[in-house]
Amino acid sequence: MHKVAIVGRPNVGKSSLFNRLIGRREAVVADLPGVTRDVKDGLMLYENHRIVLMDTGGLWSGDEWEASIREKAEMAIEDALAVIFVLDPREGLTAADYEVADWLRRLGKPVIVVANKIDSPKHDVYLAELWGLGFGDPVGISAEHARGLDELMERVLQNLPPDDEDYPEVAPIRLSLIGRPNVGKSSLLNAIIGSERVIVSDVPGTTRDTVDVEWNYGGQRFVLVDTAGIRKRPDTAVEEYAIQRSETAITRSDVIWLVVNAGEIGDHELKLANLAYDSGKPVIVVVNKWDLVPDKELKATERFLDEKLAHISFAPRVYTSAVNDYGIHDMLAEAMKLYNKWQSRIATSELNRWLEIWQMRQRTPNFQGRSLKMLFMTQAETAPPTFVIFCNNDAFVTRAYENFLQNRIREDLELAGVPVRIVWRARGAFKKGKKGEEKED
């Protein structure tokens, strides 16, 4: 699998081109400079080639992020076999464009100059100036209208060797970090992979889009997803869209790390946990910056966390510090444990043995003199584990009794920390008709 980087100054359409080539809206796009800061990977297939495209932040932006963005882009280009240098020729070549060109020459990678926003043949006159950059014949494209993309990809393929690798069919495990801004999600991701892959800053909202990082550990493939901090009320349209992307990342993940600070926990964290559980994903509460809690306050802080997180007490909890790598292995161990439980399947015979025990432990609900009778139980799905219970009348089921069964399933079937679902099915010789009369099957 070969890597190709997309670079250029801010607001020339790099992310629009990235989205167009991979065929889906993976990167946040806005008519503002500096939306993309970290390097975002995306897989595209073209003529039997599997290519990892890397969307980089705007270079020579002139803002506080300039050095960090250039550092991350240079790390991406080290692994790339070709570089797509995107420009907006209708604005003319700027000083930043020449700076990027000089920088690319020093890196020594094959460069394809791309003139974006060439929406029709009459705009081809803008290409002449780009010859002066010294990278050969520029390619005129329009990312918005999908014009010139085949010519661009033919130029890219000239720099790639034949793609004859065998790829594993097993999908990687997706692990996402979610939480409010500035709790240390990006620092934890960097600590896990042992590399400064994403930008870290004390400024809240540094990460403005989801960042997927492929990682292999002990022979197991992972995709680690760093998400934008989710606020209660986003300040800008870009931030609002980034939050939507973070919520989408939750639904695509296998396990969620909910990152919190010990002293900053409120209803917002519970809402994020419920969002993950509603999508059927297991959640691990990661209490970050644990090194900042004084030793004499550790017990009191743990009691505070127990109180604040009482509604999600079933979620495993790990204590971490991205600064000294404390608890990083615990994060991975808990994630693998929950993932295996999430994917587990339990034999029907074992389920029905437990069903009898549970009915003896707790009397079933009574409705107008008639009791709920659970007749049979089976597992219908995994990820999340979904159980179907056949009963005499599903209208007799109360929320309290269903909660009792969910707790018993988690404890007795060793599914602690995993969201489980129960589906009720009425079964018997008689069912209620439309007008309430008893009706024979």
Specify if 163 maps to a domain: no
Is the residue at 165 inside a domain? no
Q: What is the pLDDT of residue 202?
A: 47
**Average pLDDT value for the chain:** 84
Per the CB < 8 A criterion, the answer to whether 253 and 225 are in contact is yes
For CA atoms 98, 100, 104, 106, the dihedral sign is positive
Which tokens is 291 given? 């090194």
What residue numbers bound the domain in which 212 lies? Answer: 173-342
Residues 383, 426, single domain; the answer is: yes
Same domain, 411 and 322: no
Spatial separation of the C-alpha atoms in residues 424 and 415, rounded to whole Å: 20
Q: Are residues 359 and 434 in the same domain?
A: yes
In SS3 terms, 232-273 reads as CCCCCHHHHHHHHHHHHHHHHCCEEEEEEECCECCHHHHHHH
CATH of the domain at 14: 3.40.50.300
- Residues at the annotated binding site? 8-15, 55-59, 116-119, 179-186, 226-230, 288-291
Same domain, 121 and 196: no
Which of 133-137, 278-282, 369-373 is predicted least confidently? 278-282
Domain annotation covers residue 51? yes
Phi, psi of 346 (to 5 degrees): -115, 135
Percent of the chain with pLDDT over 90: 50
- What is the reported pLDDT for 230? 67
What whole-number distance in Å separates Cα of residue 148 and Cα of residue 381?
45
Q: Is the separation of the CB atoms in 211 and 226 below 8 Å?
A: yes
Distance of alpha carbon 354 from alpha carbon 348, whole angstroms: 10
Residues 194, 338, single domain; the answer is yes
Residue 188: pLDDT over 90: yes
The answer to whether residues 338 and 383 touch, using CB atoms and an 8 Å cutoff, is no
The total domain count for the chain is 3
> Does residue 212 surpass a pLDDT of 50?
yes
Residue 429: which residues within 8 A CB-CB, separation 6 or more?
440, 441
Give the lowest-confidence range in 147-151, 161-165, 252-256, 261-265.
161-165
CA angle 373, 374, 379 (to 5 degrees): 170
Which among 342, 374, 393 is the end of a domain?
342
Domain boundary among 130, 157, 184: 157
Domain-located, residue 421: yes
Residue where the block lists tokens 């990820």:
383
Tell me whether residue 62 is in a domain: yes
Binding residues for GTP, as ranges, are 8-15, 55-59, 116-119, 179-186, 226-230, 288-291
Distance CA 285, CA 257 (A): 6
Give the integer Cα–Cα distance in Å for 48 and 166: 12
Q: Which of 126-135, 203-212, 263-272, 393-402 has the highest mean pLDDT?
A: 393-402
Span 98-117, pLDDT tens digits:
999 999 999 999 999 999 98
Residue that finishes a domain, picked among 315, 342, 369 = 342
Direct distance between the N- and C-terminal alpha carbons of the chain, in angstroms, rounded to an integer: 58
Q: State residue 243's pLDDT score.
A: 64
* Best CA proximity match to 406, nearest among 394, 417, 396, 395: 417
- Within-domain flag for 119: yes
φ, ψ for residue 195 (rounded to 5)? Answer: -150, 150
Residue 164 lies in a domain: no
Q: Which residues contact 326 (CB under 8 A, 6 or more apart)?
A: 290, 291, 319, 320
pLDDT at 411: 94
The predicted model gives 272-278 an average pLDDT of 80
Tell me: pLDDT of 3 over 50.
Answer: yes
CA 197 – CA 213 distance, rounded (Å): 8
Buried b / exposed e over 319-335, threshold 16 CB at 10 Å, is bbbbeeebbbebbbebb
**Among 169-173, 222-226, 387-391, where is mean pLDDT lowest?**
169-173
Same domain, 145 and 287: no
Residues 150 and 244 in one domain: no
Q: What is the pLDDT of residue 430?
A: 45
- The 10s digit of each residue's pLDDT in 219-258 is 788 999 888 766 656 555 555 665 676 777 888 899 999 9
Q: What pLDDT digit, counting tens, does each position of 340-363 carry?
A: 999 999 999 999 999 999 999 999
6 and 93 share one domain: yes
412 and 281 together in one domain: no
Statement to judge: residues 338 and 355 lie in one domain = no
Cα–Cα distance measured from residue 1 to residue 51, given in angstroms and rounded to the nearest whole number: 6
Q: Are 329 and 387 in a shared domain?
A: no
Instruction: Compare 222 and 23 and report the one with higher pLDDT.
Output: 222
Phi first, then psi: give them for residue 238, nearest 5 degrees: -60, -45
Lowest mean pLDDT among 10-24, 99-113, 161-175, 394-408: 161-175
Q: Which of 139-148, 306-315, 369-378 has the lowest mean pLDDT?
A: 306-315
Q: Are residues 42 and 138 in the same domain?
A: yes
Q: Tell me, what CATH number does 381's domain have?
A: 3.30.300.20
- Tell me the pTM: 0.71
Q: pLDDT digits over 373-383, tens only?
A: 999 999 999 99
Split at pLDDT 50, 70, 90, the class of 332 is very high
Residue 166 covered by a domain: no
